[in-house]
Structure 1
Amino acid sequence: MSAFCVNTELLAAKGLPMPTSWHDLTNPIYRDQIIMPDPSISAIGFIAVSAFLQQFGEEAGWGYMDALQEAGITPEASWVMQHGQPRPRVQDALRRLLEVRPPLTAIVGASDILLAFAYPAITEMSVRVPEELSLIGFDDEPFCTTMQPPLSSVRVDLEQLARTGVRLLMDMMDGKPVPHRVEIPAQVVLRDSCAPPFSHNTFTSQHQKEGSP
């Protein structure tokens, strides 16, 4: 099984239809609205490719990725962090991410723990959160409220997620039909690590004044 996350409020604001399948994402109307990991620089990207091939089969899987590219939906390599789990690797990867120009306005972490590891590197590079960079993680761990500034996160009902996964697995083992689409509600918990995007000109002039490259 595989899944993708959808920002329903953003879709509604832009008047875009809700995608209900991986095939829907090949529609050019979603150009610049999709974040996909790049297999050339990210282990997550390789996992995603493997999942496509397992789900669709070799021919259809590669065809799907070709269709994404033909629709103009390709990942921006410099926006994807490559890292291992140890804290130093996460911090090194984040430093490279903060060197992207024009500067990013926000970073979305696959987990709250990754961003907790990254906080020291952000402080070291004198990047102000949230004035210059917004941060949001995933899982809404209890420590999010103790970080400075408190970390915004996405809260998922893990019990519901586990129950749904077990139920689907049991139904599959019993030969029962299972739905192709399962929605698990998520809640964005905004804290002080998020703010409206800053001006690139403001960022550049501020850092030049401070002697930064």
Structure 2
Amino acid sequence: MTRTRPTITDVARHAGVSVATVSRVLNNNASVGDDFRAKVLAAIEALHFRPSPLAQNLRRYAPATRLIGAIVPSLRSPHFVEVVIGIQEFCYEREYGVVICNAHGDPEQELFYASELERQGVEGIIFTGAWGWDMIDHIEALVEKKIPVCVINRPIGQLAVDLVMVGRRQGNYLATGHLLNLGHRSIGHITTRYSGSTAREAASGYRKALVEAGLAVDESLIVEAEPTPEGGYEAAHMLLGRSPPPTAIAARSDLTALGVLRAASEMGLRLPDDLSVVGFDDAPFAQFTNPPLTTIRQPQAEMGAHAAALLLERLANPDLPQRQVILEPRLIIRGSTAKYQPLPAATALA
């Protein structure tokens, strides 16, 4: 039978101290008292604990640096890149290093990196979001081991962890409401392909705006797609291939909206004359598309900084109550949306 390799959590439990204290001892941090240091060293010897090679390399190149981890659903997304920048800048000013793990859009890789970061002995972990993933068992396991965790834009049920949120429901409500105010009545909505509660919450904002405008919700106008340009491209072809097609589309993200713009161009549609499009995120490229993209702004770097602040505060005071930071989305109007212009009667009958 294969023997399980002891982890930093096992050392902390054996010594009767926190994971952060064990990490400080491994980092030769002078802030740990002699009594606690002796307990940790005795536990390491008793358990035959050996840090992972990656953790040893990290300490070799930055022996005085305290480390946290950040797991990112996909660094292909400019949204998550901006969030990570916010985390790194905040931590750098406070002499913390950040180990960044890219899950490449794969929930199984997130599970792997959560386990690996624990093994490496980082002091806490930030989960920067999810592409509709609802799984939280691994996060709950970290909390039970008293490893500090902060979560961004992700449903956590009753789990008592610190949380930073920007309401997708409110954002999609703003996007759909903007299109309704422009006179559009047939509005497509591209949501995430994952069937998690994040996706359901986002679509509920779209539905709410339509119902308040006195319109029936046509579920066939809600199309699931991967949160990528390719996903947006495929979804746009599905929507715009309808007869009649929608006159506007609210996309799940700016990346998704890129695919919509490409599909519309290939189909000979002029934006915003023939089709209005709204994105979500306000990625750096959004103002440089043709036409510039109307979108819902999330304060992405601010989200990352808030998450880092919550995590470092919890490291300093593990007994703090659960905290939540709620940030408001904003509608940014640019050139990809315009008032609905009905086709001339002769054209419509042609």
The TM-score range, normalised by the shorter chain, is 0.5 to 0.7
Tell me the amino acid that sits aligned with residue 321 of structure 2. P
Q: How does 1:9-88 map onto structure 2 within 5 Å? A: 43-44=193-194, 46-48=195-197, 76-84=218-226, 87-88=229-230
Deviation readout 1:166-201 (Å, 9 max, x if unpaired): 344566772422356x431333221111112333xx
Asked whether the equivalents of residues 294 and 333 of structure 2 are also in contact (C-alpha less than 8 Å), the reply is yes
Are 1:5 and 2:169 an aligned pair? Answer: yes
SS at 1:81's partner residue?
A: strand
**Aligned alpha-carbon RMSD (Å):** 4.1
* Number of matched pairs: 161
Q: How does 1:120-139 map onto structure 2 within 5 Å? A: 120-139=262-281
Look up the match of 1:195: 338
Tell me the amino acid that sits aligned with residue 193 of structure 1. S
Asked whether the equivalents of residues 277 and 336 of structure 2 are also in contact (C-alpha less than 8 Å), the reply is yes
Tell me the amino acid that sits aligned with residue 176 of structure 1. L
User: 2:199 and 2:285 mapped to 1: Cα distance?
Assistant: 33
Deviation readout 1:35-93 (Å, 9 max, x if unpaired): 896xxxx623x1227999xxxxxxxxxxxx9xx9xxx9996432222223565443222
SS at 1:116's partner residue?
A: helix
Look up the match of 2:296: 154
SS at 2:225's partner residue?
A: coil
Asked whether the equivalents of residues 171 and 177 of structure 1 are also in contact (C-alpha less than 8 Å), the reply is no
Look up the match of 1:177: 321
Look up the match of 1:56: none
Shift of 1:116: 1.4
Are 1:142 and 2:280 an aligned pair? Answer: no
Greater C-alpha radius of gyration? 2
Deviation readout 1:84-123 (Å, 9 max, x if unpaired): 3565443222111113445323212222122112222101
Asked whether the equivalents of residues 140 and 153 of structure 1 are also in contact (C-alpha less than 8 Å), the reply is yes
Distance 1:89-1:4 versus aligned 2 partners, 3 A rule: closer
Tell me the amino acid that sits aligned with residue 338 of structure 2. A
User: 2:242 and 2:261 mapped to 1: Cα distance?
Assistant: 17
Tell me the amino acid that sits aligned with residue 193 of structure 2. A
TM-score (norm 1): 0.57
User: 1:6 and 1:132 mapped to 2: Cα distance?
Assistant: 26
Asked whether the equivalents of residues 134 and 195 of structure 1 are also in contact (C-alpha less than 8 Å), the reply is yes
1:105 counterpart (239, 242, 247): 247
Look up the match of 2:259: 117
Instruction: Report the structure, 1 or 2, having the larger strand content.
Output: 2
Q: Which has the higher contact order (CA 8 A, sep 6+)?
A: 2
Distance 1:84-1:205 versus aligned 2 partners, 3 A rule: farther
Asked whether the equivalents of residues 135 and 193 of structure 1 are also in contact (C-alpha less than 8 Å), the reply is yes
Deviation readout 1:4-47 (Å, 9 max, x if unpaired): 4326996xx9xxxxxxxxxxxxxxxxxxxxx896xxxx623x12
Question: Mind listing any 5+ residue stretches in structure 2 that lack a counterpart?
Answer: 1-153, 156-166, 178-188
